[in-house]
Amino acid sequence: MQISSNVLDLPSFNFYKMTVLNTRKEVFNYISSAKNSNKTIGYVPTMGALHKGHASLIEQSVTANNITIVSVFVNPTQFDNASDLDKYPRTLDNDIDLIKQIDPSIVIFAPTAKELYQNNVASKKYSFDGLEHEMEGKHREGHFDGVGTVLDLFFSLIKPTNAYFGEKDFQQLQIVKKLVSKYKLGVNIIGCEIFREQSGLAMSSRNERLSPKGRKEAAFINKTLIEAKEQFNVKSAAKVEEWVTKEFAKNNNFNLEYVSIANIKTLKPLKRKSKKQQYRIFIAVFIDNIRLIDNIALN
């Protein structure tokens, strides 16, 4: 069937075209009218190159809120490595298609860095009560200041009721909860389970950069974490970490950056087990020179 072009021109017929906002002003205008009509706003921050892991967060937001906004923005201030930032996949057209398939009424915010940061692309300094010094914080200089800065900006523009974050970046999730409570940002932070490929590999935009062989081998990461969980029932944290380190040393494809069994609240390495505390095992590992992270609950 042919649709006449003046039908396509009608503003109310925008179901075939996603709303993509590019400027702070556009977001301000959009949010002002949503807030006037008392609508709840769900917000999902992403760096694009969207996959089913992102889709699971977006679906939760759509189910629980009147409006869902997804930002697609590769945030320069959270990268400590220029080549990692350069190589980060940027696939906005595909991202728009994927979001449209979930629900075409979702609003996308895809600003440039200059626009979002108003020409001052720099991090503010934050204290997250020590959470920022563990694991990723030790290996990615300034990373969480960059994450705090960009979310502070997005939250103040979008004023979400609920914001959705994956447990894939568990340390980030805990830091965002701290950011919101400490700086009283008034957003509910909702943690979402890790979405995995059939092989167990945690879905990640970075997986696209793996060679087919690397992608197959990367299943070893989750497999090892699951075995570590079994061992954790009978061994100390130190012994389990030692075992994981040896497993990765045996396998030339990998370069293990860290493995840590930590308390989920403090993220500090576990010294002595307590039945009252919850622990997870966290890992960062290079394969094909691509850095992947994963974690699972231990109890």
Positions marked catalytic: 54
Question: Judged by CB, which is closer to ligand AMP: 112, or 277?
Answer: 112
Q: Which two tokens stand for residue 19?
A: 């709303």
- Among residues 18, 31, 41, 47, which is the contact residue for ligand AMP, using CB under 6 A? 47
Residue 165 is a binding residue for ligand AMP (CB under 6 A): yes
- What number of chain residues touch ligand AMP (CB under 6 A)? 17
Question: Judged by CB, which is closer to ligand AMP: 88, or 243?
Answer: 88
Sequence-separated (6 or more) residues with CB below 8 Å from residue 98: 50, 54, 55
Binding mask 189-208 for ligand AMP (x = CB under 6 A): ---x-xx------xxxx---
Binding mask 117-156 for ligand AMP (x = CB under 6 A): ----------------------------------------
**Closest distance to ligand AMP from the beta carbon of 43 (Å):** 11
Question: Judged by CB, which is closer to ligand AMP: 22, or 56?
Answer: 56
Binding mask 52-71 for ligand AMP (x = CB under 6 A): -xx-xx--------------
| H-state helical runs in the chain | 5-9, 24-36, 52-64, 82-87, 92-102, 113-117, 136-139, 143-158, 170-182, 212-217, 219-232, 237-250
Sequence-separated (6 or more) residues with CB below 8 Å from residue 252: none
Q: Please answer whether residues 72 and 95 qualify as being in contact, where contact means their C-beta atoms are separated by less than 8 angstroms.
A: yes
Q: Which two tokens stand for residue 195?
A: 């979405």
CA–CA separation, 218 and 209 (whole Å): 12
**Closest distance to ligand AMP from the beta carbon of 85 (Å):** 13
Sequence-separated (6 or more) residues with CB below 8 Å from residue 186: 180
227 three-class SS: helix
Shortest CA distance to 41 belongs to which of 52, 54, 32, 50?
32
**Closest distance to ligand AMP from the beta carbon of 170 (Å):** 8
Residue nearest to ligand AMP (CB): 166
Identify which range of 3-11, 85-93, 162-170, 249-257 contacts ligand AMP by CB under 6 A: 162-170
* CB half-sphere exposure, 112, CA atoms < 13 A: 5
Identify which range of 46-54, 82-90, 117-125, 254-262 contacts ligand AMP by CB under 6 A: 46-54
φ and ψ of 120, to 5 deg: -115, 75
CA–CA separation, 6 and 41 (whole Å): 32
**Closest distance to ligand AMP from the beta carbon of 107 (Å):** 17
Interface ranges with ligand AMP (CB under 6 A): 46-47, 53-54, 56-57, 165-166, 168-169, 192, 194-195, 202-205
